[in-house]
Structure 1
């Protein structure tokens, strides 16, 4: 009875049945292909669990300061485009949830940050319009109205979107001479998550476009992490000296 319950829990969420037999029937714990699957699945679900709160420190920092000083709204829009593209592309290709699930939670948190940037900038009306337009567009993308060609093209656009998004934020940081209300915790979690996703996307989807997207994302997130470390002791109200 216990073995049946264990199998029901593990298969197919963490392991295919063949790997379950290797580990729990033949006790072949060093079966490399199955170990790769187990590690990939474990990382994937860990990333998803972490993503539920990955941008919460950023949201709390904005709300606590009642300011979005130092955050680029255009950078947020481009990041949202990349997240949305990954989510819709993965759903359209029926990739396992463990390979992309964090995109759902990152999307909801990024939309919240986008609204807060507008709200605390004195443009609440624009923030509400932003929410309506975004969720309307998302509904269309997830509907049968969007072809696979459209979704694939959107996913291909994520690489320039991620690069431009991070460069905009990096330029804002450099121009201000500080990182403002940018959360170091959120930036680190995004960097670590994108690094781990390189492995899981190769292992679980075999899609080179997905893997390349995360390579680019990791590089760009690393730039922001570098700036956070460089400007660590610079106060928010200090401006870059000429």
Structure 2
């Protein structure tokens, strides 16, 4: 009986020893795939809202541009380091959607020609970044630059929201999904890449996305039309 109990204890320890890491891997892979699938549509509500309103009021092009640079840096850094697609795949889809939003902001701002130039220049720069000809040192610097780019970009949007007193055409659905995705990426980046620079980037991104999420909730019942009516009543 004693030996049976001892063997059972050892077996339990072995099960715990190997099942916990396996569970983390399965959870990380599942979250990663879920984030990638969600990213295919995460900014679609924002794009549709812009197209429906035919206006980009409340959205900062500078903020979108900095966000695009950060996403591109993460994608290039991940490819250069041969990280699994499940650890960064959403960057590919977010890039395409963010480029579209940038173009729409310029287009609805009456600068369509600049919007087209923006598309041409971006994809011309993207090709050498993803082809492997860019030195690893440059790609690493881009990833490190992500942190100030994210902070500055999000603060510009935060300041724009505060100045306007509303979030304009900013999509609440897209904001909430981006916040949830960046939170989940903290765990998956640590689990799948072990890269502290990647994880820190997502910590900062989650913090900044969280601030904008709070603004969306705070200004929930505010709108450009409501603010205009309020101004008229006070005049």
TM-score, normalized by the shorter chain, greater than 0.5: yes
CA deviation map 1:183-209 (0-9, x unaligned): 000000000000000000000000000
SS in structure 1 at match of 2:173:
helix
The match for 1:229 among 217, 225, 229 is 217
Instruction: Give the structure 2 partner of residue 60 of structure 1.
Output: 48
Instruction: Give the structure 2 partner of residue 93 of structure 1.
Output: 81
Two-structure CA RMSD over aligned residues (Å): 1.8
Instruction: Give the structure 2 partner of residue 81 of structure 1.
Output: 69
Instruction: Give the structure 2 partner of residue 126 of structure 1.
Output: 114
C-alpha distance in 2 between matches for 1:216 and 1:83? 13
State the structure with more CA Rg.
2
Q: How big is the shift at 1:142?
A: 1.6
CA deviation map 1:24-47 (0-9, x unaligned): xx9989800000000000000000
Q: How big is the shift at 1:145?
A: 2.8
Q: Give TM-score scaled by structure 1 length.
A: 0.86
Task: Give 1 or 2: higher helix fraction.
Answer: 2
Is it true that 1:151 corresponds to 2:139 in the alignment?
A: yes
C-alpha distance in 2 between matches for 1:30 and 1:230? 46
Is it true that 1:105 corresponds to 2:93 in the alignment?
A: yes
Q: How big is the shift at 1:148?
A: 0.3
Instruction: Give the structure 1 partner of residue 33 of structure 2.
Output: 45
Q: Which runs of 5+ in 2 are unaligned?
A: 1-13
SS in structure 1 at match of 2:224:
coil
Superposed structure 1 runs of 4+ greater than 2 Å apart: 26-30, 239-242
CA deviation map 1:11-34 (0-9, x unaligned): xxxxxxxxxxxxxxx998980000
Matches within 5 A, 1:155-166: 155-166=143-154
Q: Give TM-score scaled by structure 2 length.
A: 0.89
C-alpha distance in 1 between matches for 2:178 and 2:166? 20
Kept after mapping to 1: 8 A contact 2:80/2:132: no
C-alpha distance in 2 between matches for 1:45 and 1:226? 27
C-alpha distance in 2 between matches for 1:51 and 1:226? 21
The match for 2:166 among 172, 178, 188 is 178
The count of corresponding residues between Structure 1 and Structure 2 is 217
Kept after mapping to 1: 8 A contact 2:165/2:219: yes
C-alpha distance in 1 between matches for 2:145 and 2:42? 24
